Chain A
Amino acid sequence: MTSYLSSRARIGLAGTVAEAASSPLEISRQLAWTRREFLRTAAGVTLGGALLHFSPTARAQARPIKRRKVIVVTFGGGARDQETFAPEGQENIPHLMKELIPQSTFFARVVNRGILGHYVATASLATGVYETINNFASLPPEHPTAFEYFRKDLKRPSADTWVVAPSNGFNRIGESSNRSYGQGLGARVILPKHLLTAAKSGNADYAHLLRDNYETPFYTPQLGGGEFELQQLETILKLSAADFRAHALTLSSPDELSLYIVRQLMREQAPSLLWITMHDIDIAHAGTYSLYIEGIRRTDRLCGELWKTIQSEPEYAGKTTLFILPDFGRDSDEDAGGNGFQHHRTGDVLSRTTWMMALGGGMREGVIYDRPLDSTDLVPTLGAMMGFSASQSEGKPIAELL
């Protein structure tokens, strides 16, 4: 029978979330609770539910900021609690734990009810609707993206919103196929690997920065790279191909390359809405636990570096809200239908239940909420913060951030 129907666990595994909870809802609640408790003890954050109930200052803290900027980071291709927020995992995320979470409003229970493939899930985050497009096809989202709402409602130019993403499929994420929005109204998308492909020359070894689609490790999509990319380098990022090549040689992963491009974009274009998709963690699909852990540690470090960049760039310091959230988790060890950390194929509760943090720009600091949110709540929240209407989104604005 299918893996769902056979090899089911016949004994409980002591101490697991799955054993303690009896239904998917209960497992999700339990997961959020344990994540909350880990954070309360390790990062010293306060329980937001209690604050909201008792404190007169508990109402919205996101003070109106003229020309607020928002940066959204999707945390690297899915990581599980036991390698991140659980006690044994916290050593892998020192920057999140010690630097970012104490400054954040943290949501411990963000549920993704959609398809758990990276492109389609990221597209769902960007539209606020659970998209059903083929994860591996080069297709635009079917519903308007946050970038389109932002530009159309606020009449912003194309240079004011950018997406920096890995190459596989994400080149279409900037604008939807929706007739009322779509072409010409979306974000400009930069694919650092395409840039590097266009810029590289000679025999220098850039291969480590051109890693491919991890979800199907043996499939390598063709990387383009040409005149347009070189033009992007020189006119938009103000980088010569030679400088770009030289700097790329000092980097160790595709996500590091992405952060380098992001910094350059922030400095040269200062977009108001910037979306960064990290992907290194997804090496987990190759089944190598050590590389998966390395990916988490690197992503944690890069998030810390991004936050420092925000503080040091005059266009961003003091008026930027940074959102960090995974697109989804990964399969639990307890589900016999999966193979633990390697994939996100079972659709189990743990692979659907993730977290989100929001910091900067007036967000309340060191507060944690464990009420359930939906992945699709992000876009209407961005809309409420920035002043656009996410009219087709299925989500709801997150009151605790407004």
Chain B
Amino acid sequence: MLPADLKPERFNSYPPEARKLVTANITTLQRLPLAFLPSLLREAIDYDYKFPAERKAVDKELSKLGSLSPAQFNEWFQGFAGIHLSPEIENFDWVSSPAQFVENLSSYLWTTHQLDAFRKAATEYGNRLNEAVPPDAPPIPRLGITVVGQEVSSYNEQLFRKLRPHGAYFKNVKPENGLKTLLDTVAARAKAHSGAYAHWYIDGGKEAEHDPALTSVSYGALEGVRATLLRRMRTEIEQPGMGPEALRTTLAQIRPADLGLNDAGDAVLNRFRVRLLTEGSGTQIYSTTFAQWAAREALRRAQPLTLLVRFAPRQRQKTMNELLSLKPEQTELDPVGSLVDADMGAYYNWLNQQRLVGAEQSAFLVWFENHSDAVSISPAMPRGTESTAPTDLQQLLSWML
């Protein structure tokens, strides 16, 4: 089937809000090239489980596409229209399974050497869209905080090498009550600028006590979910003919209820949590990977005003077989390796924050937990500088914001 043949009833299997969205915009969808449309439907089909920022972006995108003249439409989509698709790809049920279609399309583009053309078309489209409907600026500058090095008593290598050039490195920060200070700061922002999914706390271990106004996700709280998922993965792997691609498809179909997460809770957040585990690579077994990927996805999708990420020690490397089978009481931790992971993770958290609108005003703090090292980045902080003056996290935050 081609986009021009779309009928509203084809979307009957979509969740209610998603169905309403696509049927209201069906004339726009009918005009889109097949190399592009399933990517949009992949977002639309999850509309009911999207964060507010994502919903707004999809709404604005569809509204803009609906307003394009025929000439503009051709200009925006000529790159996608030039992608050659096989009959097999065209005949796939991309309406019901747009995500799987995109997976297949990706593989097809690689094998037919069209990935670069697709990439160019996609980049140009993204640039046009950003220009035509720029995202809303945040009401206050964003604040990112990353805490690294839990359970590391001493570390002699240089920390924060990638972040130091972008801000001020403080070597004499009083560590007392540091984590509480940071959590209180995040809570205060949440109270002063409330909004759904606007202030996050992600922990790679067990969550510290925190204000319930924060959206929280942690590796520790998902222990039962992870165990259920790993059992399921082991079962699937043992099925005859099961390969990586089939496993990926199976994982993509897992819903929160399948893993014991009650949909009566926060359905949007539960879906997010499950996706971290079913779509992330390594998130099921390494807490440092979980924390970094959760932060990346929270920033990309929810675009929070505040994000506190605390890394925790991950388990020591073993074979994947062993890692999939380990019971919690059997895990041996690697705090120093985790610090190295988290140091890079902090850099990625900053990079991903800088990808959001308002980046030039945003602030970022990374702290070596229970130690005296921190880097603070904001328009108010001189770049590439070092300070040995005694200070504390409260003071650092006050200088940054």
Complex partner residue of A289 from B39, B61, B112, B344, CB under 8 angstroms: B344
28 inter-chain pairs at a CB distance below 8 angstroms, sorted by A residue, are: A1-B126, A4-B118, A4-B122, A5-B122, A5-B129, A10-B130, A10-B356, A13-B351, A15-B165, A24-B116, A113-B113, A116-B110, A207-B319, A211-B319, A212-B320, A213-B244, A217-B320, A218-B233, A218-B247, A219-B237, A285-B282, A286-B289, A288-B337, A288-B341, A291-B337, A336-B300, A340-B344, A340-B348
* Number of A positions contacting B (CB below 8 A): 54
Smallest Cβ distance from B121 to chain A, in angstroms? Answer: 9
Q: Is B243 an interface residue (CB 8 A)?
A: yes
Query: Are A10 and B359 in touch, CB under 8 angstroms?
Result: yes
Q: Is A392 an interface residue (CB 8 A)?
A: no
Query: Are A6 and B300 in touch, CB under 8 angstroms?
Result: yes
| Alpha-carbon separation in the docked complex, A291 to B118 (Å) | 33
Apart from A5-B126, A293-B340, 11 more pairs, CB < 8 Å: A7-B356, A8-B123, A136-B244, A136-B245, A218-B284, A283-B317, A285-B282, A290-B338, A291-B317, A334-B351, A342-B281
Q: Digit string of B90-120 for contact with A (CB within 8 Å is 1, else 0)?
A: 0000000000001000000011110110110
List of B residues within 8 angstroms of A334 by Cβ: 351
Q: Is A2 an interface residue (CB 8 A)?
A: yes
Query: Are B355 and A212 in touch, CB under 8 angstroms?
Result: no
Q: Is A137 an interface residue (CB 8 A)?
A: yes
Interface residues on B, range: 35 or more
Q: Digit string of B208-251 for contact with A (CB within 8 Å is 1, else 0)?
A: 00000000000000000000000001000100000111011000
Query: Are B345 and A286 in touch, CB under 8 angstroms?
Result: no
Query: Are B243 and A212 in touch, CB under 8 angstroms?
Result: no
Smallest Cβ distance from A72 to chain B, in angstroms? Answer: 24
Smallest Cβ distance from B47 to chain A, in angstroms? Answer: 13
Contacts across chains A and B counted by CB atoms under 8 Å: 160
Query: Are B281 and A343 in touch, CB under 8 angstroms?
Result: yes
Query: Are A8 and B244 in touch, CB under 8 angstroms?
Result: no
Given contacts A14-B166, A217-B281, A9 and B354 within 8 Å (CB-CB): yes
B interface residues (Cβ-Cβ under 8 A, vs A): 39-40, 42-43, 57, 61, 102, 110-113, 115-116, 118-119, 122-123, 125-127, 129-130, 161, 165-166, 233, 237, 243-245, 247-248, 280-286, 288-289, 292-293, 296, 300, 314, 317-322, 324, 334, 336-338, 340-341, 343-345, 347-348, 351-352, 354-357, 359-360
Query: Are A10 and B355 in touch, CB under 8 angstroms?
Result: yes
Interface of A, helix, strand, loop or mixed by DSSP: loop
A interface residues (Cβ-Cβ under 8 A, vs B): 1-2, 4-11, 13-15, 24, 88, 113-116, 130, 132, 136-137, 207-208, 210-213, 215-220, 283, 285-291, 293, 333-334, 336, 339-343, 346-347
Complex partner residue of B340 from A1, A207, A289, CB under 8 angstroms: A289
Smallest Cβ distance from B366 to chain A, in angstroms? Answer: 15
Query: Are A136 and B243 in touch, CB under 8 angstroms?
Result: yes
Closest B residue to A11 by beta carbon equals: B359
| Alpha-carbon separation in the docked complex, A213 to B112 (Å) | 25
Closest B residue to A214 by beta carbon equals: B320
| Alpha-carbon separation in the docked complex, A5 to B116 (Å) | 14
Query: Are B341 and A7 in touch, CB under 8 angstroms?
Result: no
Smallest Cβ distance from B158 to chain A, in angstroms? Answer: 10
Query: Are B300 and A10 in touch, CB under 8 angstroms?
Result: no
